[in-house]
Structure 1
Amino acid sequence: MIINMTTIALRRKHYIDQTLESLFRSDGRDIPVNLILGSSDTSHVEKYRKTLNIVSWDQEAESQAREGHLRHNCNVNAIRALSYGDDDHCLCCEDDILFDEHWLRQLMLTVAEIEGKHYVLNLGQGSDPSPGKRYAIHTQPYLCGAQAIFYPSKSVRRAVAEFVRQNTHCGMNDHLIGRYGKEHAALYNTTPALVGHLGQVSTFNQPSPPAKRSEDAPLKQNSETTPAKPVAVAVRRVDREARPPATKVPDVHRIRVSERATSEVLVALLRASLGTGAQPDATRLTQCDWARLALLATHHGLVPILYRALRDRAASVPADRLKNFKAQYVANVFHNQLAQAGVEEIGAAFDSERIPVIAMKGAALQRTLYDDPGLRVVGDIDLLVDERDVERAGARLQHLGLAPLLSMDADRRGPLCHIHHIYQRRQPRAIPVELHWRLFEPYQPYIFDLEAVRAQARPLPGMPPNVWVMAPEHELAHLCLHLDRHAVTYRSLISRKDWFESLLRPQGLARLLWLYDIALYLRQRTAVVDWDRFVDTARRWAIDEHLHATLELARRALDAGPPPEVLRALHRGRPRVVERIAHGVVLASHRANESRRKDSARGRRLRWLARLSGQVLRVAHTWVSVFPPRAYLRARYSTTHTALALRVRHLRDVTPGLWAETRDRLRSVVAVRGHDPR
């Protein structure tokens, strides 16, 4: 999304500072702003040259302007604002408005309610609300004032621009925009108004109503003669679902059956999105617990994907659920546009310093794998640089206004500080940037050769030449290893009878979205992956058993797997006893947390298990780090020494890292307790 703001220097009184101040205080502060100048004079906006994009009054605009005809020239600038930029979602506004603090959220919820994409949405004019809606049809004969107009697509903007261009002799741009909306599309007002009007001193010395005739042609119909009254800034609107009434405790068996049916519907929708299965029929959808489906979708980062799968099944989906899913999908479109703009900005900044960078996970997949910019939920921007470039890269990020995560937040991260730094603008909704120089802690018992990764990386399409992505074999391996590292239990899960329930349960750090990434990768990239090289690399890096678990679960759950011989080649058997015990405790903890969520009375009895799982898992990780599999020792050291000599050497190498991890974890605990408000 972009904001195209028209502004002109010859105003007797300027309001642009107040307008931008209200925007920067609002939840739309991160949206790119283009200042569309109405004359060659830039004196009133020079202070914003380093922070906003100033679109100068160029020769083409000058050729269309008429000396002394201010109204005509304002129409020319309105056409420029309508035509500028390729983004679909665009807010064209004037420089004398006040933004509501939560205008963007309310706008996204409003857009989610409107069917179709051929409409004009006015944010700045009051209207009688329609019951149950955030918008109303503009009932007045014409639009009086175009302080803030939202366009849902580039095609609508271009059509309106052409209409204003052809009819510019018939009146002012607000009048013409209103005519287009009523005659060729739909004209709506948000309810309530999301911006207020500041401009009590007009640009025009002697304002006249929009219906005033021009010199050349009469209007077909008179426009409004009464200017709109100033609109107060809208009060924040709180959207909450009503609390369900108290009922008797339902049958436990029926709950489990409903949960299973809901999980099956979720997986069926994911399979349908991948093209590996059919859509669930209406009967299965009626068995779905929609509240639980929303819980699962939110936890696993799947809401936008489910919305696209369900949007053509509106008759089988509760209207409020589908509306909420759509709102989150629309919000994710805006969010991802900011993320991609951030990658481009950082890539260009790094390119100026000749710093090569590899985009990873969502930052890369959003551009290379997903065909819809709103589907992939992106929590942060993951970038990988050479360790020797970390300091310069960090300096460039700070030059862009991203500050390193310091103090209490850094203390909470503990050992993660040894593999990446986090940078973020000090603003709400700003997208964090994780600057990696390693992918995993150095004492972890698997290898990921970053020299080989950089040597085989390839350019990321549409980005500066220094922004790369991993080769397919490395990227797929990294996606699998990243999921296995967060899920922890997958290598044990594939041998359990309750693997399906455990995979879907909304507990732990793993996300089904990451498994969907892998499944989609397998569906789209199987032909370009060199599977012999993939297996050979996995064995040389001693990560084959970790890759096998995630690929096997992608095959089982989403029916998208690698060739069968690849799975057989990667399979090395079950995890060791210590790991299986730890995994069992973690899975039991997840079940306990789920039970505690449903029955708060059992919370005190089950809380001890959650605490125990963390301790047991930490002991297991330490044990495996100190006593890794022999395959890992052979892969890491590539020598002919005896097994005992290799273990002694390994212990000497990992002890400093383990000690640093333990020290930082203790510091994290102290920091968290020291900042505990209790």
Structure 2
Amino acid sequence: MPTKSVLELANWNEDQELTLLLSLLGKDVSHWQDKTAATQLREMDWVRFLRLTEHHRVVPTVYLQLKTLNHPFVPAELLRNLQAQYHRNTLRMLHLQAEAERLTRLLIAHGIRVLMLKGPALAQQLYGDVSLRTSKDIDLLIAPDDMDEAEHWMKEAGYASKSGEVRVLGSWKWKDHHASYLHPQKRVEIELHWRLHPDGGGEPSFDELWNCRKMGKAAGASRQVPLGSADNRTVMTSCMYTLGSEHQFLYLSAHGARHGWFRLRWLVDIDRLAVCAVDW
């Protein structure tokens, strides 16, 4: 059958590739095989299905669901493609997680409070596994007054500003909401935020967000170290702070709306958060 546009939304409820994708993104797919007729799978446009999966950034979930279902009408070539992307994403997310931890420790060591937005920390928080979500960069949120010092330490860590603009007279605090930095060797991009949203509207202060923060430990990377024989306090050598669940829900909702909900991954994130962590 001819390949349809990835973003064609007309008659979406008759769109069998999108319908299949939505079914696989649900938490319970045990009934999937019963409701999906063999004729539908034979007529499936698997090329378009793959493009939809990639566009919506849900390759990890779809790959693991299809692998578990092991349906005979799912093409082996499709599974191999998804598997390769899944493995590449796992390595990428572990790389981003390690770099996020390095930068977080550096900034905290110099008295700069840091909250992780999205990325590996969100993957760990919502899915319990960094490999189950995709991310292209690292987003960090700090207080506006810490921006100059944070930028200094970003440069010390090997990052260069992507814009090269010089901030003067404090106008940047209201004209923008983040600055981007790139590590030329590691090819990692960092977005350093001093506000959650770009529109300049009302939002919680950093102090409020910090007071409601949630600790997210990186899988397999945290341990407790005694501070001294006479001091039974402990410190986390590897931990990252994220937004509290309620602030996280509002932030993800506003972020998705601002971008027109053109990726299903954002709705999956919100669904995972809403059913397990939000105090309504």
Task: State TM-score, norm by structure 2.
Answer: 0.78
Deviation at 1:442, TM superposition (A): 4.8
1:362 corresponds to 2:119: yes
Task: Report what 2:176 is aligned to.
Answer: 418
Deviations 1:502-541 (A, max 9, x none): xxxxxxxx3110111011112332xxx221xxxxxxxxxx
- State the superposition RMSD in angstroms: 3.0
Given that 1:265 and 1:285 are in contact with CA atoms closer than 8 Å, whether structure 2 keeps it comes out as: no
Task: Report what 1:137 is aligned to.
Answer: none
Question: What aligned pairs does 1:249-398 form with structure 2 within 5 A after superposition?
Answer: 260-271=15-26, 274-275=27-28, 278-280=31-33, 281=36, 283=38, 284-312=40-68, 313-398=70-155
Give, as a single letter, the amino acid of the residue that structure 2 aligns with 1:426: P
Task: Report what 1:91 is aligned to.
Answer: none
Which secondary structure state, in structure 2, belongs to the residue aligned with residue 339 of structure 1?
helix
Decide whether aligned partners of structure 1 residues 295 and 416 sit closer, same or farther in structure 2, where only a CA change above 3 A counts.
farther
Deviation at 1:415, TM superposition (A): 11
Which of 230, 250, 267 is residue 515 of structure 1 equivalent to? Answer: 267
Given that 1:357 and 1:385 are in contact with CA atoms closer than 8 Å, whether structure 2 keeps it comes out as: yes
Given that 2:173 and 2:194 are in contact with CA atoms closer than 8 Å, whether structure 1 keeps it comes out as: no
Q: Which consecutive residues of structure 1, in runs of 5 or more, have no partner in the other structure?
A: 1-246, 409-413, 491-509, 532-678
Identify the structure with bigger relative contact order (alpha carbons < 8 Å, sequence gap 6+). 2
Q: Say which structure is richer in helix.
A: 1
Given that 1:282 and 1:316 are in contact with CA atoms closer than 8 Å, whether structure 2 keeps it comes out as: no
Deviation at 1:477, TM superposition (A): 1.1
Percent identity of equivalent pairs: 29
**d(CA) in 2 for partners of 1:405, 1:257:** 39
Task: Report what 2:256 is aligned to.
Answer: 483
Which secondary structure state, in structure 2, belongs to the residue aligned with residue 264 of structure 1?
helix
**d(CA) in 2 for partners of 1:442, 1:256:** 33
Task: Report what 2:212 is aligned to.
Answer: 456
Deviation at 1:443, TM superposition (A): 3.5
Question: What aligned pairs does 1:425-574 form with structure 2 within 5 A after superposition?
Answer: 425-427=183-185, 430-444=187-201, 446-461=202-217, 462=222, 464=237, 467-487=240-260, 510-525=262-277, 529-531=278-280
Deviation at 1:278, TM superposition (A): 3.1
Q: Which consecutive residues of structure 2, in runs of 5 or more, have no partner in the other structure?
A: 5-9, 166-171, 223-235
**d(CA) in 2 for partners of 1:335, 1:353:** 28
Larger radius of gyration: 1
Which secondary structure state, in structure 2, belongs to the residue aligned with residue 316 of structure 1?
coil
**d(CA) in 2 for partners of 1:323, 1:250:** 21
Decide whether aligned partners of structure 1 residues 416 and 486 sit closer, same or farther in structure 2, where only a CA change above 3 A counts.
farther
Given that 2:24 and 2:62 are in contact with CA atoms closer than 8 Å, whether structure 1 keeps it comes out as: yes
Given that 1:362 and 1:381 are in contact with CA atoms closer than 8 Å, whether structure 2 keeps it comes out as: yes
Which secondary structure state, in structure 1, belongs to the residue aligned with residue 181 of structure 2?
strand
Deviation at 1:315, TM superposition (A): 2.1
**d(CA) in 2 for partners of 1:250, 1:467:** 43
**d(CA) in 2 for partners of 1:316, 1:417:** 53
Question: What aligned pairs does 1:616-655 form with structure 2 within 5 A after superposition?
Answer: none
Give, as a single letter, the amino acid of the residue that structure 1 aligns with 2:16: A
Deviation at 1:480, TM superposition (A): 0.8
Deviations 1:28-67 (A, max 9, x none): xxxxxxxxxxxxxxxxxxxxxxxxxxxxxxxxxxxxxxxx
Decide whether aligned partners of structure 1 residues 258 and 287 sit closer, same or farther in structure 2, where only a CA change above 3 A counts.
farther
**d(CA) in 1 for partners of 2:101, 2:188:** 14
Deviation at 1:282, TM superposition (A): 5.4
**d(CA) in 1 for partners of 2:200, 2:113:** 26
Given that 2:97 and 2:121 are in contact with CA atoms closer than 8 Å, whether structure 1 keeps it comes out as: no
**d(CA) in 1 for partners of 2:276, 2:61:** 17
Deviation at 1:258, TM superposition (A): 10
How many residues align structurally?
Answer: 248
Give, as a single letter, the amino acid of the residue that structure 1 aligns with 2:44: C
Given that 1:459 and 1:467 are in contact with CA atoms closer than 8 Å, whether structure 2 keeps it comes out as: yes
Deviation at 1:311, TM superposition (A): 0.8
Give, as a single letter, the amino acid of the residue that structure 2 aligns with 1:395: H
**d(CA) in 2 for partners of 1:303, 1:363:** 16
Given that 2:144 and 2:173 are in contact with CA atoms closer than 8 Å, whether structure 1 keeps it comes out as: no
**d(CA) in 2 for partners of 1:369, 1:405:** 30
Given that 1:303 and 1:325 are in contact with CA atoms closer than 8 Å, whether structure 2 keeps it comes out as: yes
Given that 1:268 and 1:278 are in contact with CA atoms closer than 8 Å, whether structure 2 keeps it comes out as: no
